[in-house]
Structures are given as structure tokens and as C-alpha cells.
Amino acid sequence: MTDLATYNFAYLDEQTKRMIRRAILKAISIPGYQVPFASREMPMPYGWGTGGVQVTAAIIGPEDVLKVIDQGADDTTNAVSIRAFFQKVADVAVTTHTKDATIIQTRHRIPEQKLTEGQVLVYQVPIPEPLRFLEPRETETRKMHALEEYGLMHVKLYEDIAINGRISKTYAYPVKVDGRYVMDPSPTPKFDNPKMHMSDALQLFGAGREKRIYAVPPHTEVVSLDFEDYPFEIQTFEQDCALCGAHGVYLDEVVLDDKGGRMFVCSDTDHCEDRREHGHVGAMLAPNQEAAE
């Protein structure tokens, strides 16, 4: 096997990585600005994280430890396949523990455990343009970003309140980065927006199909847009996690049967497992072991 032609380290060729790194550096220099880059075909379909994978491939080194999450979970298809991909093409160590990882590629969640200096969070972004569904012309949205004309974003929030009585947007909630660019934080639940603010970790966003990279450098102000009389709020949950009893974390609803049975569990599986290892037990796990498994 060893004499066969193999992939370059981390799949992409060095020239491509160089191009992506330049885009990343530019993105870090202008927080929240969408930098166009020559996105490559990746061995996975668009919408599966081609942007995130390219960013990860451009920054990963042999000594890095990679964690990949999909909707908070380490064990779902997208996470498993991307993790396997980098194990194969970069031969890096992988982990499911947030604290051990140096690079975390994520689809739609920020881990519950606070990220620390030196960690990099890579987001997979489907639609990088926050103004997309308000203004269909790319030429116009770019001009609006350039001239800082963001009134339209509030029109969307106004509509939400007029129709639903509150800002009903729950994910991809627009933020203003460093007091300048309005940014789509990818379809993360708005629950995670406050974690982006002044984060110790570097946050990189890659959109493969749309060919855009943007970034939030560490210790950067990230403010969710709102109205004075309708301030930004995050989701709250009435229950605790059914498995680990965690409170104040983002929970997924799991339907158990067709008779209205349901449970709420931590969306961040690593966080949940870690808590259970430390002896925390949720309502469901205590009386009935099987239902939870």
C-alpha cells in the first residue's frame, strides 16, 4: 500500500490551503466580513459541511486534536463521517471531549463547556449572507454591508414582532460583530449567541457552496440585534436534561412514542456524558434505565 499515490496531508493541495489561509487571515483582520474564496469540490455533497471541512483542512496540523459535532452530538452521521475523513487524510488524533480538542468543527452548536484560548471553532455555514432573504441581489447586499446600511435587518425583526408578538427567530439570529458588520452566525440556535461574545477561542466560518469565509477573532464584541422594547432573549427550558439533569443548557426534544411521550436531553452529548460520569442523574435515567438507552 505504501508505494501507492496518497492524498496530500489533509486532502487539499498546498496551494489551495495557502489560498484558504489567506482568506482566513483577511477574515480575521476584518471581523464579520465575508471574504470570497475559491471553494473546491470536496468528496461530500454541498450542505454537508464542505466549507467547514476546507477551513479545517487549511488550519489543521499533525499535532492537532480534532472534535467534530453535528447539532451538538459527536455520534451522528455528519460528525462521524467528517471525523473519519480527517483521521484518514490527516492522521490526526480525534476526541469527543471539548476540553481536549484544539480544533472543533461544528454544525450548528457551540459546546456547553466554555472554550479556551488556543482553541479554534470552525462552523459549517449554509448561507453566509444575513440579508439574503430580505434582499435577493448579491450586488446590493454587498453594497449594504459596505455602506453599513442595516435598517433592513430590523425590518425582519419588526415583522416577527408584528406577526408573532415577539422576535420569533430562533436560529441564525443576526449579530453585529465588533460594532461594524452584521453577520449570520450560521444556523446555531440563538441560545449560543451570547457564547460568541468575547469568546476566548477563535471562530471561523466556512461556506463551501457560497464560497465565503468569515471570522470572529478572540475577545471580539458580538451583539445580537434587537429592539429597545423587545430585547434579545435566549431560549429557556422548563425541564432539565432527562439523562444528566443539567439545567440552563440547550436541550433537544426526543419523541418516544406516538402517544405524546417525549424527553428532553442535552444537545451537547459530550457535556451530558461528562456530567453522568461525574454522578449527575436525570429524571429518566434513575427509575428506568432502558427507556433512556
Binding site for other proteins (CB under 8 A): 143, 147-149, 151-152, 154-156, 158-159, 161-163, 226-230
Instruction: In angstroms, give the least distance from the CB of 228 to other proteins.
Output: 5
Q: Residue 277: how many CB atoms within 10 A of its CB?
A: 9
- Choice between 154 and 262, CB closer to other proteins: 154
Considering beta carbons, is residue 91 or 138 the nearer one to other proteins?
138
244 is catalytic: yes
**Nearest residue to 153 via CA among 128, 179, 178, 135:** 135
With CA atoms as reference, report the closest residue to 55 among 6, 125, 117. Answer: 125
**For other proteins, the closer CB: 46 or 150:** 150
In whole angstroms, the minimum distance from the beta carbon of 167 to other proteins comes to 9
Looking at the Cβ atoms of 4 and 147, the one nearer to other proteins is 147
**Nearest distance, CB of residue 224 and other proteins, angstroms:** 13
Least distance (Å) between residue 266 CB and other proteins:
34
Marked catalytic residue, from 51, 208, 241, 282: 241
Q: How far is the CB of 187 from other proteins (least distance, A)?
A: 21
**Which member of 49, 51, 244, 282 is catalytic?**
244
| Catalytic status, residue 241 | yes
CB-wise, 46 or 232, nearer to other proteins?
Answer: 232
- Catalytic one of 49, 206, 266, 282: 266
Residues 205 and 215: beta-carbon distance below 8 Å: yes
Residue 279 annotated in active site? no
Residues known to be catalytic: 32, 241, 244, 266, 272
